Copies of this chain bind each other. A is one copy, B any other.
Amino acid sequence: MPAGTLLYAQSGGVTAVINATASAVLQAARARKVRVLAARNGILGALREDLIDASALSAAEVKGLAHTPGGAFGSCRLKLKSLADDRAKYERLLEVFRAHDVRWFLYNGGNDSADTALKVSQLAAEFGYPLTCVGVPKTIDNDLAVTDCCPGFGSAAKYTAVSVRECALDVAAMAETSTKVFVYEAMGRHAGWLAAAAGLAGEGKDDAPHIILFPERPFDEADFLARVDAVVKRVGWCVVVASEGIRTADGTFVADAGGGKDSFGHTQLGGVASHLAGRVKDALGHKVHWALPDYLQRSARHLASQTDLDQAMAVGRAAVECALAGQNAVMPVIVRDGDAPYRWHVDIAPLARIANHEKTMPKGFIRKDGYGITAAARRYLSPLVAGEAFPPFGRDGLPNYVTPVMTSVPRRLPAWRG
């Protein structure tokens, strides 16, 4: 057994397959006889010295994590600032690492986490503490630089495309006397990847979704409403997919246009779909419905993509191998070798090329009129949602998700006063 401990932490919004990455990390570490601790609730657990003995998980629990959504060890949204601004926190992390002989730190998250892992590695070098920091990619937003795609995205994309295909059949059946316009709100504050994935639901000119709204394009209400009306006139009904992050030309988030006060003066929580539905109703008079899947889209492990699951596990395994090989301040990334047939492999990229970057949709993926995806986008997206990876279901008809027993590691340091 190599000397030292590997610390694994989950960061930011969870995905349908981040636990599959955790499962792969634990399996790879077991194969190499490396002890693994997990930070409870992400970096917060590391700061608080709130650590879980992940090596104590049973083989069945480790295997079960691969088909369990959510973040089994807990995640958090704490973003560390620069080394100068948050120096005490970074130093505390090193103190905890030292106390538990952590020699390898795997941080499973997005841009911010890549940045944190990079800074921790820099401070460790400054202090002469032997630490290898490896970022492990994860985000349904698919907005990480360098990697061709992000584990977590493919499954959320599959959920989106399937859901839109299904509700479109519903709307089509009822449009004559009921809802004519349906608005589906997809996650994606800055990048329209998930909304784009909805485009896979249909192929023909009049297939749903008829209109996709991307944060990469300014939202023009009059043009949008005219298009909705034209689709209703031509097709009889219209399905709209809107990214939560769409903005008008002056930079205002459309979601913020709603969300005022109701008639009792209570906060009225809005959102893009609700707002657009209201505008369609007011301006066009069509009966409208909308859906806000919210967390359902990032936790729908029952509809995970096999490609996504494979990649989530591959980056977990690769991260352990990188770390044990001493490849510091890097992240395993997905490289695409071909579209049809789809081929990919894992490469290793420096965190410095990934930290704090954000990859939006390339211009060539958005149709010229701004309301749909191109053939190039289809070629990119399609393999990412391919393959089904259903979880095991119990006799009760529900997925057998696991809740591993978490054994806390005794603290060795005074409590953190962060």
A409: interface (CB < 8 Å): no
Query: Is A158 touching B397 in the complex (CB atoms < 8 A)?
Result: yes
A14: interface (CB < 8 Å): yes
Q: Which of A258-275 contact B (CB under 8 A)?
A: 258-264, 266-271, 274-275
Report A's interface with B, CB cutoff 8 A. Answer: 10, 13-14, 41, 44, 68-72, 74-78, 158, 161-163, 165-174, 176-179, 182, 200-201, 257-264, 266-271, 274-275, 277-279, 281-282, 288-296, 298-303, 305, 307, 382, 385-388, 390, 393, 395-399, 401
**A177-B295 Cα distance, complex, nearest whole Å:** 16
Query: Is B41 touching A177 in the complex (CB atoms < 8 A)?
Result: yes
Query: Is B167 touching A401 in the complex (CB atoms < 8 A)?
Result: no
Chain A interface, >50% SS class: mixed
Sample 5 A-B pairs with CB under 8 A, ordered by A number: A10-B173, A14-B174, A158-B397, A165-B398, A258-B266
Return A240 CB to nearest CB of chain B, in Å. 13
The answer to whether A161 and B398 touch (CB under 8 A), given A169-B70, A262-B275, A293-B291, is yes
Contact of A399 among B165, B263, B271, B397 (CB under 8 A): B165
The answer to whether A279 and B266 touch (CB under 8 A), given A260-B261, A388-B390, is yes
Return A370 CB to nearest CB of chain B, in Å. 23
Contact of A292 among B178, B267, B291 (CB under 8 A): B291
Chain B residues with CB under 8 Å of A277's CB are 269
- Which one of A41, A77, A278 has the greatest number of beta carbons of chain B within 10 Å? A278
**A382-B394 Cα distance, complex, nearest whole Å:** 11
**A259-B398 Cα distance, complex, nearest whole Å:** 35
Query: Is B257 touching A166 in the complex (CB atoms < 8 A)?
Result: no
Contact of A177 among B72, B78, B163, B395 (CB under 8 A): B78
Query: Is B395 touching A173 in the complex (CB atoms < 8 A)?
Result: no
Chain B residues with CB under 8 Å of A398's CB are 158, 161-162, 165, 200-201, 385
